[in-house]
Structure 1
Amino acid sequence: MSLMIVILATLAAGIGSVWIAYLLVARTRASNGQTSYAQQGFLGLAAGALLTTSLTHLLPEALESNVDAHELFLVILAGLVFFFLLGKAELWHHPHDHEHTSPSHRGSSWALLIGDGVHCFGDGVLIASMFIVDIRLGAIAAASVLAHEIPHHMGDLAVLREGSYRGSAVLKLTMAGGMTALGGVSGYLLLAKLQHWQPFLMAVAGSSFIYVALSDVIPRMQQRRTAKDATIQVAWLLLGIAIVAVVNSLSHGNSAL
């Protein structure tokens, strides 16, 4: 697997999600819209892709290896606990409820950016680990991270614009998003030497995808309860499931040839 592919994928997921979020926020403001249905669509797409990738690809393939199933499930449990603790630490410095956050000084904005940078670095490591396993899986991981981060960055921009100029807010968040590429390079250099641990890496990645979908993405989808919101969410959720299912079937078909 080429390091350049990992760099390009992580840049697209990290910085691309920031600029798509900026364009959606600008469009919403220009049309005097109060909410963005595109945001709900991206959440649904991310939830579907994350859960399907984990439950139909990562965990089944890890279980098909020669590793003891009890050991794998212990790794999954440890991964869920770890990501729970990581989320607690991130929330301590970086509350996710941006709509009701009003920074009183510049320090809070920098705390938000630091939290984003750490989060993006972890996303980069995850994407790199998936590319090491399989190029198609890496592409799915990058697309899922991009879709998941767009609504997140839309909230960040709303917070940062309260304390700085619009261009400054976008530049700062772009720098934080760039940490995804740094995480990708670090993950590639470290994990490429540990390929014999591949089943356990897949188990950890699967627990990460499940945790993000169930603790972050789906709860944010549940906050919107109108019929139109529900229709958009379900449609994009099914689209995310369908995309991953098609990619998985093509992958298995090619491996059988």
Structure 2
Amino acid sequence: LISFAAGVLVAAAFTELIPESLELNDAAVPGLLLSFLAFYLVERYVLIHTHHHEHEHGGETFAHTHAVGIIAFVGLTLHSLLDGIIISAGFEVNLELGMIAALGVIAHEIPEGFSIASILLYDGFTRVRTLIYSTIVALATPAGALLAFFLLEDVSTGMLGFLLAVAAGSFLYIAASDLIPETHQSHSAVTVFLVLAGAALIVGAGAILG
């Protein structure tokens, strides 16, 4: 699943989001760079730092206060809201881009759902609270899409291009930082096949919907 998601995200960014963003706004590239770097900084100085701190102190303080779980919950909820905005921005341009953006979001949100549940359980949350928090993270995406549906109604094409570049940056960062490194843990030919299959799905969907 992770290998397939990696292929989907990389292909969606390079074959759909980036070209479309440049067509709408030829100065959209900074949005891609800013998005990529923003995700790096959040992961580097928030998520990774808290996990490192937890290991240093045996997990006692953080297990008691649930700080790691709360930070992960807030971060992934905001990310899910952004995913919803990305989907709406795609549909605001055309049906094809909206479908491609939705496929990309779904592909990486499934493993993210398992991740947030694992983090919360590891941090001492009960199964009920873990289920509630995980559901909130999942519902943040349609909430973001609904919010963006109204906010993007009169947005300029230049801003749409910038938002698509931001989406591309987030897709590329997730693939490069989290998903592709995971695929290197397996030496099976199936892993390579799944990456290529994910990319092929996006290319094929673009050809059919386009």
TM category (shorter chain) comes to: 0.7 to 0.9
Q: Residue 151 of structure 2 aligns with which residue?
A: 190
Relative distance call for 1:90 and 1:117 in structure 2 (3 A) is farther
Q: Provide the residue aligned with 1:147 in structure 2.
A: 107
- After TM superposition, the runs of 4+ consecutive aligned structure 1 residues lying more than 4 A away are 92-96
Aligned to 2:139: 178
Measured in 1, the distance between the counterparts of 2:37 and 2:121 equals: 34
Give the C-alpha shift of residue 106 in structure 1.
4.3
Establish whether residue 219 from structure 1 lines up as the match of residue 175 from structure 2.
no
What RMSD over aligned residues (CA atoms) do the two structures have, in Å? Answer: 3.0
Say if 1:90 and 1:148 are closer, same or farther in 2 by CA, change over 3 A.
Answer: farther
Unaligned runs of 5+ in 1: 1-41, 253-257
For the residues of structure 2 that align with 1:208 and 1:161, how far apart are their CA atoms? 26
C-alpha change, 1:142 and 1:104, in structure 2 (3 Å) is same
Higher RCO by CA contacts (8 Å cutoff, separation 6 or greater) = 2
Q: Quick check: 1:124 aligned with 2:80? A: no
The question of whether the paired residues in 2 share the 8 Å contact of 1:116 and 1:177 is answered with no
Aligned-pair identity in percent equals 30
Offset at residue 89 of structure 1 (A):
5.3
Counterpart contact for 1:80–1:208, Cα < 8 Å: yes
**Across the two proteins, how many residue pairs are aligned to each other?**
203
Partner SS for 2:63: coil
User: Which of 194, 204, 208 is residue 246 of structure 1 equivalent to?
Assistant: 204
Unaligned runs of 5+ in 2: none
- The answer on whether the counterparts of 2:17 and 2:167 sit within 8 Å (CA) in structure 1 is yes
1:119-169 alpha-carbon deviations (Å, 9 max, x no partner): 211222222211212223222222222221222222332232342432332
Match of 1:80 among 36, 45, 64: 36
Tell me: CA distance 1:154–1:62, structure 2 relative to 1, closer, same or farther (3 Å). closer
1:1-257 aligned within 5 A: 42-64=1-23, 67-68=25-26, 71-88=27-44, 90-91=46-47, 95=51, 104-108=63-67, 109-162=69-122, 163-197=124-158, 198-222=160-184, 224-225=185-186, 227-228=187-188, 231-252=189-210
Give the Cα–Cα distance (whole angstroms) in 2 for the partners of residues 236 and 55 of structure 1. Answer: 18
